[in-house]
Structure 1
Amino acid sequence: MSAVQGTELKQAARGGLVSIVGAGISAVMGFALTFVLARSFGESGSGVVLQTVAVFTISLGLARTGMDTAGVWILPRLVLTDRSKIRGATTALLVPTVIVGMVLALLLYFITPLVDTSSDGYGQQLVQAIQATSWFLPCGAVVMVALAATRGLGNIVPYTVIGSVGLPALRPILVLGVAAIGGTAVLASVAWAAPAALAMIVALFVLWRRIRAQERVHGIPGGWWPDKDTHAKIWKFSLPRWYSSGIEQSIIWFDVVLVGAIAGASAAGIYGAASRFVSAGLIISTAMRMVVSPQFSALLSEEKTARVQELYTTTVTWIVMLGVPIYGIFMFFSPTVMGWLGPGFEAGAPSLVVLCFGAIAFLIAGNVDALLMMSGRSGWMAFNKSVVLAINIAGNLILVPIWGIMGAAVSWAFSLLLDSFLASVETRIFLGIKFGFSRTAYAFFIAVCSVVPISLTVIHFIGRSTLGVFVAGVGAMVILGIWCWLDRRRLRLSELKVFSRKGNKPSNNTPVFD
């Protein structure tokens, strides 16, 4: 491995550690929110809030207009070529987001009552909650694009502090406050959405400071509007991504809405809670994607395929090795985990197991989606997401009436497997990036050996109790830590020694991603 490749891995590791810490806090806050909703509003009330979150998140995927990913793609390239274009490019990213966000907010407010066919009180609350939260949609979209732009300009910290820590921490606190004063699920939904307004102000301020820092390197401030070439590149990249982003969020969240429409608010509450637990295991993959996506873009623009291959394969092993044990604990102790939420939620335990299988398949593919996207092939990404969403919706419509929430879990798990497969094949064909089977299989073997024996032993002697979850979790972490230490060279974990930056500074021609 060359010195340059080592520097890239160290940058990925350093940023990954920061991002993982933030993603871990986000996951804990996500648990807290799910717990507060379940304990305070019950199955049906939490179902209203989670369905509202689903509609908001899907709409947010559209409101971003693909500009968040476009920022991560184009800004690292401008850092390499012409910093004077950064300010104009950022304006071109933010303006469409504001406009489309406002239009979608209006559409949600006026159209939602027209499509409501429910006759119960929870259906009416859902309509009111969607209408009330829709006004925060432009704020949420601007936050996502502004934070993505800071990532594209080489700093993962604002994304972590604001997006992974600040917003997730405020939400359960505010929802708990609503529950304490006896508020409804509608008010709880507003409490979940409202922090986006504050986050928007902070994110824009941080982004402005980052832009000025880059311009000082160039010595000349850029114009507020992009030239035609930059503008065209942004829209050419973002248009397919705009479509695929909405589809992508629909794959993640639309099943919660469908479950609510077909099986009722109570089923949506149980299934939505199970799916939120599963999202916690994706923190490793998400954290690494935040860091490596700009690096993929910069390296692919210079056609440095070998270095992309090494960066991709190494980070996949880290994702699998650190992420799979989380799902192993969830699978072995699913009745206990779902039981934490209160009476009735244990019914979601089998669904949680199936969802974990799908998430593990997604982890094994690594950040292959990011590779495909950063190569500029957003059209193929849009195609993949369209196929997967169509199959996901069809699966839900067929299986939920028969199997209930288990049908939704099976459909979602298969959708993730298909999505990863399509992206992996296309990345191999278009970019020549191979799936590192041997290294990934070894990482998976380490993860299985870390979690399976200790979990079976704990279940035998302690049982599936809360204490058992804690003992098995700690034991798996210890086993994994020891194995990683003993085999750190093969696993490239020596690259995690990045807190001393002496000698690891990139050249003047390499964007700094820290």
Structure 2
Amino acid sequence: MSAATTSRGELARGGALSFVGSAISAVMGLVLIIVLGRLLGDAGSGVVLQAVGAFTIALGVARFGMDSAAIWILPRQLEDDRQLLRPTSAFLLLTSAVAGLVCAVALFAGALIVEAQAPGDPVAEAIRSIVWLLPVASVMLTALSATRALGQVTAYVLVGNVFLPSLRPLAIAAVVGLGAGALGATAAWALPLVPAALVAVIVVLIQLRRLGSATQPGFLRSGVPGRTLRYALPRVVSSGLEQLLIWVAVIIVGAIAGPAAAGVYGAASRFVAAGMIVDTALRVVVSPMFSRMLHRGDRHELESVYRTATVWLVLFSTPVYLLLAIFAPVALSLLGESFAEGQAVLIVMSVGSIVTFLAGNIHSVLLMSGRSGLAAANKAVAVAVNVALIYAFVPLWGITGAAAAWAVACALDALLASLQVRYVLKLNVSPLPGLYPLLVATLTIGIPALASRMLLGATWVGLIVAALVGGALFLAWCRWDRRRLHLGELRRPPSSPTPQG
């Protein structure tokens, strides 16, 4: 069996587990939005989502790129420098904790300034209630990335995709049921970070102990801290910009049109984020693989895995977004009548996501090559375009304009990364592998869904019929053409134990 085939089998096995976790995370993310919408309404949800957005943007900086650095450097050390694993892991965790504390102080000061100018501002109060958990969150994310980099996807999935997302809606429902408002709901969203971080750190310590390699003395003189920081510093910028790209529209819409509009836009965008389950599942698995392959110079193997992952990403993600776009009113009805105006947002963002997926896991390839500076520059361009278009489009088209700005910015980010991987890294990547699975999903899911919408209307019955008929056609096509869609890898048993690296 060829190396590329073995790697695709590893991708399939790890991706399957990660997909289950991502699916649970997506479902619980939707439950969270439904709980907020039903219990707090659009205005209350807007306050919580703006505070969460500010916290998440700050967290992009607070983790100081140590989560990405873990994915980049630890798989390489597993290959040839195992004695450096323990001190490197300690360095990653300590750096993220210190950076998280500094960012928490900065965000707290910012909230105080806002409150001084606008006393009683609910968003600023909500931010102050959770800002002290920034270092906890940054350590948790770095620890989870380290578990994944050391070859154990299970802990990453169980803690990050199951435990934490499942606890949050339960906590919010409990505190709101006891009479708390948006402030209490925001705190309830953040508190589960504490046990999640504790578990993540314990798992990393157990993994390092099982690897059983001695610690090399003189770590600070080994060059690893300098290499790690040089890689991570551009990721600090890039990670903050990534979160800006996701959350900045919620904050700007809230500033322009008020918390109710921010709540509607934020809720609709969370449906789109929930649909990223396949992208998230594949990225969790392919990033360490790409790092190992690039370290070994296995360009052919990397290109093969990239093409397979692109086919699967488009094939399994597109049906979700087609159903969301065609039955947008049905999805948003879960939140309440006040969220109905988010239909156009859901349609535009779903179409934008499908287009962006044609680039595959291109960002992972760029980052794992060590070109974190290029990734940061791409994000800077994308965020600048996004913000400029938000201010241009929102006065014209309201929250739909913010969705269009986001879609354009995401497509631009993917295009820039694709060009850099092709012409800087000299890797053979293109959107062509994604075109055939896009056609399959459109013919089997999209057309039946449109027919069901026209015949039965935007109803739950119409959505269920579309899902059943389209799903049957989709599965039949996948079975018939499983070779071209690389689906045989999903059933192939492992030929050898999966490497820990």
TM range (shorter): over 0.9
CA distance in 2, matches of 1:164, 1:471: 30
Alignment check: 8 A CA contact 2:64 2:236 kept: yes
Report what 2:191 is aligned to: 194
Alignment check: 8 A CA contact 1:84 1:223 kept: no
**Deviation string for 1:139-161 (max 9, x for gaps)?**
11111000001111111111100
The answer to whether the aligner puts 1:360 opposite 2:354 as a matched pair is yes
Report what 2:383 is aligned to: 389
The answer to whether the aligner puts 1:512 opposite 2:475 as a matched pair is no
What do you get for the CA RMSD once the two structures are aligned?
Answer: 1.6
* Structure 1 residue 119 displacement after superposition: 5.5
The answer to whether the aligner puts 1:265 opposite 2:259 as a matched pair is yes
Alignment check: 8 A CA contact 1:91 1:224 kept: no
CA distance in 1, matches of 2:157, 2:217: 29
Alignment check: 8 A CA contact 2:59 2:134 kept: yes
The answer to whether the aligner puts 1:285 opposite 2:279 as a matched pair is yes
CA distance in 1, matches of 2:114, 2:82: 48
Alignment check: 8 A CA contact 2:71 2:288 kept: yes
Q: SS where residue 432 of structure 1 aligns?
A: coil
**Deviation string for 1:120-167 (max 9, x for gaps)?**
96xx22111100110111111111000001111111111100000110
Q: Which residue identity is paired with 1:6? A: T
CA distance in 1, matches of 2:365, 2:146: 18
Alignment check: 8 A CA contact 1:87 1:225 kept: no
Query: In the TM superposition, what are the counterparts of 1:468-479 in structure 2 within 5 Å?
Result: 468-479=462-473
Alignment check: 8 A CA contact 2:176 2:184 kept: no
Identity of counterpart residues, as a percentage?
39
* Structure 1 residue 116 displacement after superposition: 4.8
Deviates more, 1:294-303 or 1:467-476: 467-476
The answer to whether the aligner puts 1:294 opposite 2:288 as a matched pair is yes
Q: Which residue identity is paired with 1:5? A: A
Q: Which residue identity is paired with 1:486? A: W
Q: Which residue identity is paired with 2:161? A: S
CA distance in 1, matches of 2:116, 2:241: 24
The answer to whether the aligner puts 1:173 opposite 2:170 as a matched pair is yes
Alignment check: 8 A CA contact 1:68 1:148 kept: yes
**Deviation string for 1:327-376 (max 9, x for gaps)?**
10011011121122102111010111111121112211111000000000
Which of 417, 426, 445 pairs up with 2:439?
445
Structure 2: runs of 5 or more not aligned:
none
CA distance in 1, matches of 2:319, 2:218: 47
Q: Which residue identity is paired with 2:325? A: M
Normalised by the length of structure 2, the TM-score is 0.97
CA distance in 2, matches of 1:23, 1:373: 21
Report what 1:413 is aligned to: 407
Q: Residues 470 and 260 (structure 1 numbering): CA distance in 2 closer, same or farther, change over 3 Å?
A: same
Which of 303, 309, 320 pairs up with 1:309?
303
Alignment check: 8 A CA contact 1:87 1:224 kept: no
Q: Residues 437 and 96 (structure 1 numbering): CA distance in 2 closer, same or farther, change over 3 Å?
A: closer
CA distance in 2, matches of 1:345, 1:223: 59
Which of 202, 207, 225 pairs up with 1:210?
207
Report what 1:134 is aligned to: 131
* Structure 1 residue 68 displacement after superposition: 0.4
**Deviation string for 1:420-471 (max 9, x for gaps)?**
1000000001222233444321111111112122212322332211222222
Report what 1:252 is aligned to: 246
* Structure 1 residue 104 displacement after superposition: 1.2
Alignment check: 8 A CA contact 1:281 1:324 kept: no
Q: Residues 227 and 203 (structure 1 numbering): CA distance in 2 closer, same or farther, change over 3 Å?
A: farther
Alignment check: 8 A CA contact 2:87 2:215 kept: no
Report what 1:109 is aligned to: 108
Report what 1:164 is aligned to: 161
CA distance in 2, matches of 1:474, 1:62: 43
Q: Residues 197 and 113 (structure 1 numbering): CA distance in 2 closer, same or farther, change over 3 Å?
A: same
Alignment check: 8 A CA contact 2:382 2:409 kept: yes
The answer to whether the aligner puts 1:324 opposite 2:324 as a matched pair is no
CA distance in 1, matches of 2:103, 2:352: 31
Q: Which residue identity is paired with 2:500? A: V
CA distance in 1, matches of 2:423, 2:429: 12
Alignment check: 8 A CA contact 1:361 1:416 kept: no
Deviates more, 1:424-433 or 1:413-422: 424-433
Alignment check: 8 A CA contact 1:154 1:512 kept: yes
Alignment check: 8 A CA contact 1:305 1:431 kept: no
Q: Residues 437 and 399 (structure 1 numbering): CA distance in 2 closer, same or farther, change over 3 Å?
A: closer
Alignment check: 8 A CA contact 2:249 2:390 kept: yes
Q: Residues 227 and 10 (structure 1 numbering): CA distance in 2 closer, same or farther, change over 3 Å?
A: farther
**Deviation string for 1:271-328 (max 9, x for gaps)?**
0001000012211011101100001001001111111100001100000000011010
Which of 128, 147, 153 pairs up with 2:150?
153
Alignment check: 8 A CA contact 2:126 2:187 kept: yes
Q: Which residue identity is paired with 1:293? A: S
Q: Which residue identity is paired with 2:166? A: A
Report what 1:12 is aligned to: 11
Report what 2:90 is aligned to: 91
Report what 1:40 is aligned to: 39
CA distance in 1, matches of 2:220, 2:491: 40
Q: Residues 224 and 464 (structure 1 numbering): CA distance in 2 closer, same or farther, change over 3 Å?
A: farther
Q: Residues 371 and 495 (structure 1 numbering): CA distance in 2 closer, same or farther, change over 3 Å?
A: same
CA distance in 1, matches of 2:85, 2:311: 34
Report what 1:144 is aligned to: 141
CA distance in 2, matches of 1:358, 1:435: 20
Normalised by the length of structure 1, the TM-score is 0.95
Q: Residues 307 and 367 (structure 1 numbering): CA distance in 2 closer, same or farther, change over 3 Å?
A: same
* Structure 1 residue 383 displacement after superposition: 0.6
Report what 1:460 is aligned to: 454
Q: Residues 224 and 13 (structure 1 numbering): CA distance in 2 closer, same or farther, change over 3 Å?
A: farther
Q: SS where residue 140 of structure 1 aligns?
A: helix
Q: Residues 138 and 341 (structure 1 numbering): CA distance in 2 closer, same or farther, change over 3 Å?
A: same
CA distance in 1, matches of 2:374, 2:188: 37
CA distance in 1, matches of 2:487, 2:218: 43
CA distance in 1, matches of 2:429, 2:21: 28
Q: SS where residue 135 of structure 1 aligns?
A: helix
CA distance in 2, matches of 1:126, 1:422: 35
The answer to whether the aligner puts 1:435 opposite 2:432 as a matched pair is no
